[in-house]
Amino acid sequence: MGTLVTMVEMQTLTRDIILAHCTQEYPLEACGLLIGDERGVQQVFPARNEARSARVFVADPHDVLLARESATAQGLKVVGVYHSHTNSEAYPSPTDVAQAPDPSWYYVVVSLARPLAELRCFAIKEGQVKELRIGEPVTSPSGPES
């Protein structure tokens, strides 16, 4: 058996940024990249939804490139993707599962179908969806704030 990741570290602030972006783009689906390391998500890189659709998303390739460059410049990497569901559950759709590009990625899905937005995180490997528990980092990511 390989490493079974069951938890992803993500600060509440990071979750709030994702929720704010998804709410802002509503009624269209929002999407963006997750930047971090093997322990979890440290940053969010909002991307344009090239599809400009309420039902599907295609992360703008240029934004994906910028996210990768930003991550690399900080010694981090792109570790996943987030997007919103405007009218369905916070769970990967069959399309999301079929198009999941990387088995090591985190897949965050936000549902705006009800008044209270919901955010969940998954791993998608070989067509299998597994929900990951989201936890606060034990130590906050270091970085110059000044």
- Please report, as ranges, the residues that interact with Zn ion according to CB under 5 A: 93, 96
User: Would you give the end-to-end CA distance of the chain in angstroms?
Assistant: 44
In whole angstroms, what is the distance from residue 83 CA to residue 97 CA? 13
Our CB check for Zn ion shows the closer of 70 and 93 to be 93
Smallest separation (angstroms) from Zn ion to the CB of 142: 33
Q: Which of 51, 53, 27, 43 is nearest to 82 (CA)?
A: 43
Which residue minimizes CB distance to Zn ion?
A: 96
| CB closer to Zn ion out of 54 and 66 | 54
Query: What is the smallest separation between the CB atom of 120 and Zn ion, expressed in angstroms?
Result: 12
Question: Which is closer to Zn ion, CB of 75 or CB of 94?
Answer: 94
- Residues paired with 118 in a beta bridge: 111
In single-letter form, the type of residue at position 33 comes to: L
Report in angstroms how near the CB of residue 28 gets to Zn ion at its nearest: 13
